[in-house]
Structures are given as structure tokens and as C-alpha cells.
Chain A
Amino acid sequence: MDVNWLQVLVNSAVTGSLYLIASAGLTLIYGLCKFPYFAYAEYIALGAFIGYFVSEVMGVSLSGAFVISFLVVGAIGFLCYRGIFQPLARRGATIIHLMVASVALGLILRHLIPVFGDIFPVLEWSWSPSYFTADWAAFNLGSVRITGLWAWTVIAAIGLSIALHIMLTKSKIGKAIRATSSNPNLALASGIDVQKVIWITWSLGAGLAAIAGIFRGAETQVWPNTGWEMILPVFAVVMLGGIGNFYGAITAAFIVGLAENIGVVALTALGLSTSYRIGIAFIILIITLIVKPQGLAMLFRRS
């Protein structure tokens, strides 16, 4: 079998970029609130649907879709925390309670999407897949095929990394997020309004998921499982990167992306269906948990 390894690398960079955008917010939320927030996947789906509605149904530009989706899902993220998880935590809920609540919330959100579509037919939200119609010109760079969407995904991931790095190390709120994440009581003792920091992080995190949702929806399809389909790689990236460690997540996203794309080559060579590729993220997740539960955090101490 002839494998274009350069193409595999490019594909890995694209996959990694998408995973990075999809996990950046979750790792910040996870780092702050210390429980696996499964409903995060639904922010990805919601982002895809809202983006689809704005750009395809209403006919606003795609960039408009990114902005509106980011804002709306960011607000939803805030409401989820303020309405559900903050009161639960205040009543002394343990990690298990919060996790189960997040699974339930995820199911509800996912199934509410088509319900909303039924109530408001104008949204065109349903279980049957919709597709972004934007025409992404594909071009060849030597032997490598690249589409405009891929290029934008990588550019967005790079932009996001730089923006988050600056925010986390230079801005007051960014430093407060890192401080609160490592020691909430000491953050309070420093006069930081920890509750506000959590609100901002949840909104920002949900908004980032929405952006990932549009990229994913444009690459594949928009349906209520758009987010759920990504939950394994997203959690694999967060765990491998070290919970709450943004720099670890960048590295992990590209490791998972590379592993998946090499996995696709291997699956093809073995004559197996490439739909098993999702198992690769699962394997990485399991191995991380068994071998090094703290993930790559050892490499990036300044988290």
C-alpha cells in the first residue's frame, strides 16, 4: 500500500487543531471545577446548530456565525453553571453528583435540539443531518491536498493558542483562572472573587466549544450527535494534557490527532473500517489513566 505520509501529517495537524479548539475550554473548566463535565460535548453540537442557523438559514456570513454562536453558547454555559452546578456545589455535591448531573444535562440538551426544531421550524434543527454549503476550495501543495476549511481550522487553533496564552499569562483574569484552578481558598484569601472567575471561565469555555462545533459541523455534518461524537478525543486530550493544563492540552491535541491519522492508515492496511478510528482516542485515554493520570502536566509546570 502506498501511503502519502506528508498528507497524513497534514491531516493530523488539522485533526489536532480541531481537537485543540474543542478541548481548550473544557480543560480550563475541568481544572477549575474538578469534575468531568460531560455536557461540554453538547456545547459543540449547539455551536454547530446555531452556526448553521445563522449562516445557512439566515444567510449571515460564516464569520457572523462564529461570533453569534460563541456568544449564545457562552451565555448558555454561564446559565448551566449558575442554574445547576453552582447550587449543587453549594449544597455540598460531590464529584460524583456533579458528574452525573452533567451526563443528565448533556442528554437533555442533546435531545432538546430537535425539540426546539419542532417548536420553531424556522430553525431547521432536527435529527436528520444538515450540511454547511460554504464552498471550501481544495488546493494542492505539492503532493498534499488541503481544503480552505482545513487551513482555517489550523489558523484558528494557532490564533486561539496565542490568544489564550496571552490571556493566561498576561491578563488579570487569566492569572486569576490559573490561581483559582490551583488553589481556590488561597485565591479567595487573595481577594479574588472566585465565583466570578468560574462564571467567566464557563462562559468562555462554552463559547470555544461552539467554535469547534462550527468547524466540525462544516467538516462533517450538523446533527444532535455532532458534539457527542467528539467526546472521546476531547476527553483524551484533556486527560493526556493534564487536567486544567492548557499547554499540555495543545501538545496532547496534536498527539491524539497524529495517533488517529496513523491509526486510519493502519486500519486501512489491515482491511478494517476506518470508523474504528474513534477507538484510538479511547485507547489513549485508558493508557493515560493507567500509566500517568497526571498526563503531560509534568512537562508544563506553569499551567
Chain B
Amino acid sequence: MKPILVAENVNAGYGDVIIVHDVSVEVSAGEIAAIVGPNGSGKSTLIKSILGFAKLFQGSILYHDKDITGIPSHRAVNLGIGYVPQTDNVFPNLTIAENLDMGAYNKRGKDTIKTAKGDIFHMFPELAAREKALAENLSGGERQMLAIARAMMAEPKVLLLDEPLASLSPKPSAMIESKLEQIRETGIAILIVEQNVKKALELSKRGYVLVNGALAMRGESASLLADDSFKERFLGLEQEH
């Protein structure tokens, strides 16, 4: 299948410091691709650079075969690339409903937004019940759901998720995983950054392993999980946590 989003030969970082060296990743519609790797390997920097939240020194971003390298973040979002940061991913001083309104900021027409909100509440009934609650009063799992729901309001074609499962206890984590599966089934491409290598590869179809800002391995998630050298290098590390 033709990829919907391609990041090619990306060199990215902050200020003058290059953290990610010459990495290419891609994701297709209806597929989850995972970028995994140890702490500080540049995973987050890589997806941030796709949207301009980190500096892209070199490389190009193709969306639907169109070069969108360097366009302003909010315009990339409007084109259909949703992004959920790892932390500070909701507006704490806004209610759940208002957070969702912000997600649909560039949608025209009250009815369109209402319909979109209805769909989102259908997917996240947990949020519908607390529509008027301030986001800062939500639990970790609810907060993460709201963060994803906010991004979904813009009806993205691609969703970039920065460690959506980090710091969640098993139950909310499993809930988010099932929501991601639901989202994928609607045909959205999901590119996920995750520290939990095993979980991310079980969730995804394709995996990229980043070490020290460079691509160490890539392949079908299932075959990576079955690969002995991969297991030794990355799953061994995982168990020490």
C-alpha cells in the first residue's frame, strides 16, 4: 500500500544540536507504525520535526506525495496531520467540550462541529459523561483519551502520537490501546512513538528502532519480535525496567 506520510532522510534537533540523523519512516492508511527505542534515542524529536515542533535540518516530509517540508505547524494540522504530544496534551483550563472545540478549530459550521463531536463522544463515551468537566480534573487515562479525541476532532488522515501509553496503569493503557485499534480501523494512519518496545510492536504492523538518533532496525513488527538479535538487543533491555 502506498504510504500516506513519508519522512525522508530526516536530520532533526533543537537549536544547533542535531539529535536525529538521517532517518526515514513512513506510514500508510489504516496501519499503525511504531517508532521504538531507548530513552533519548530521538523518537519524539523525529515526530516533532514532521510538524515543525522540532527543527528539521535536512530531509523532507511528504504527505499524499506532496512535499510539505517546513510548512507552519497549524497548516500541517489543517491538511490532516494530527499530533498528540506526550505531556501537556490537553488545555487544563478548558472543559472537555471546549478542548474538543479547539480540536475542530478550522472546521466551518456549527453543525459540522456538532456532528464531529457526536462521533467523538460515540468513540469515547467516557468523555461524553463529563463534557463540562475541566480537563485538569481528569485522571491520567481520561486525559490521554481527551488528548487523542481532541486531535481526532480535526478528522486527521494521519495521527502522530508521542508515547500515549507512558505513565498509564495497565487498565487505562489497555483502554487506550483498544481505542487506537478502533481509530486504525477507520482507515487513519497512526505513527506512534513508544518506549515500551514489546507493547508497541504488538500494537503495530511496522516497526522502526531508533538508537542514538539513528535507525538501528526496521521491519514488520511481527518479524522484529521474532528476530533473535532484536530480542537480545532491545527486549532484553526492556526487562530490566
Which of A55-63, A131-139, A182-190, A263-271 sits within the interface?
Answer: A182-190
Taking CB atoms and an 8 Å cut-off, the chain B residues in 74-111 that contact chain A are 74, 77-78, 82-85, 88-95, 98, 101-103, 105-106
Interfacial chain B residues near A176, Cβ < 8 Å: 102, 105
Taking CB atoms and an 8 Å cut-off, the chain A residues in 115-130 that contact chain B are none
Which of A4-12, A40-48, A103-111, A191-199 sits within the interface?
Answer: A191-199
Interfacial chain B residues near A188, Cβ < 8 Å: 53, 72-74, 77
The reply to whether A179 and B102 contact each other, CB–CB distance below 8 Å, is yes
B151 is an interface residue with CB less than 8 A from chain A? yes
Interface of B is mostly: mixed
Cα A179 to Cα B154 with chains together (Å): 16
Highest count of chain B CB atoms <10 Å: which of A301, A302, A303 = A302
Interfacial chain A residues near B53, Cβ < 8 Å: 185, 188-189
From residue B193, how far is it (CB to closest CB) to chain A in Å?
15
A182-B93 CB under 8 A given contacts A191-B78, A192-B74, A301-B136: yes
Interface size class of B (residues with CB under 8 A): 20 to 34
CB < 8 Å A-B pair total: 76
Interfacial chain A residues near B91, Cβ < 8 Å: 178-179, 182-183, 186-187
The reply to whether B73 and A175 contact each other, CB–CB distance below 8 Å, is no
Interfacial chain B residues near A90, Cβ < 8 Å: none
A91 is an interface residue with CB less than 8 A from chain B? no
B134 is an interface residue with CB less than 8 A from chain A? yes
The reply to whether A187 and B134 contact each other, CB–CB distance below 8 Å, is no
Interface residues in chain B, defined as those with a beta carbon under 8 Å from any beta carbon in chain A: 51, 53, 72-74, 77-78, 82-85, 88-95, 98, 101-103, 105-106, 134, 136, 150-151, 154
Interface residues in chain A, defined as those with a beta carbon under 8 Å from any beta carbon in chain B: 169, 172, 175-176, 178-179, 182-183, 185-194, 301-303
